[in-house]
Amino acid sequence: MLRITFTKEEIDALHYERFHHPHPRVQRKMEALYLKSQKYPHKEITKLLRISEPTLLNYLRDYKEGGISKLKELTFNRPQSELKKHQESLEIYFREHPPKTLAHAAAKITELTGIVRSREQVRHFLKSMGMSCRRVGLIPAKADPAAQEEFLKKN
């Protein structure tokens, strides 16, 4: 069990931050530490805040390492695509040579970077660069361009 001693100033700061910090997750951390400062047992803190024992221990370790400022840190995992490293060169290439299909774009990305991605992932990546699919209009098979031009001149 972690032994932590709190000063009067720290208890006041925890009491203030548990209600006034803008992020609810930080408020919960402050509440957990405030209850710990009031000598509540771990089981009761986890029950009141509906958190697990390892989560409470993480909060306590963070506080022991860096104090209240460490508790205020929010570190969310936001994974970045490996293609982001190559985005600039791929964007230049695809602006000059627009792909006909997603399969063609996926093959070109594999060829240029060595990174294999599915068509859906390639579609999402191309959209993030501002590119979008274009529908191609069809010309009827029996269309006569000369007759069409003549018709347009008359009307």
CB-facing half-sphere around the CA of 143: CA atoms within 13 A: 9
Q: Is 38 helix (H, G, I), strand (E, B) or coil?
A: coil
What pLDDT is attached to residue 3? 79
What pTM does this model have?
0.56
Flag whether pLDDT at 76 surpasses 90. Answer: no
Sign of the C-alpha dihedral, residues 97, 99, 105, 108?
negative
| Number of domains comprising the chain | 2
Please report which confidence band the pLDDT of residue 83 belongs to, taking 50, 70 and 90 as the band edges. Answer: confident
In a domain, 3, yes or no: no
Tell me which residue range forms the domain holding 101.
82-128
Please report which confidence band the pLDDT of residue 1 belongs to, taking 50, 70 and 90 as the band edges. Answer: low
Nearest to 61 by CA among 21, 29, 90, 93: 29
Are 62 and 89 part of one and the same domain? Answer: no
| Amino acid (one-letter) located at 144 | D
In a domain, 16, yes or no: yes
Residue matched to tokens 């047992």: 41
Are 44 and 98 part of one and the same domain? Answer: no
Are 25 and 62 part of one and the same domain? Answer: yes
Flag whether pLDDT at 142 surpasses 80. Answer: no
Which tens digit of pLDDT belongs to each residue from 89-111?
999 999 898 888 899 999 999 99
In a domain, 154, yes or no: no
What pLDDT is attached to residue 27? 94
Are 100 and 124 part of one and the same domain? Answer: yes
What pLDDT is attached to residue 143? 74
Per-residue H/E/C for 41-80: CHHHHHHHHCCCHHHHHHHHHHHHHHHHHHHCCCCCCCCC
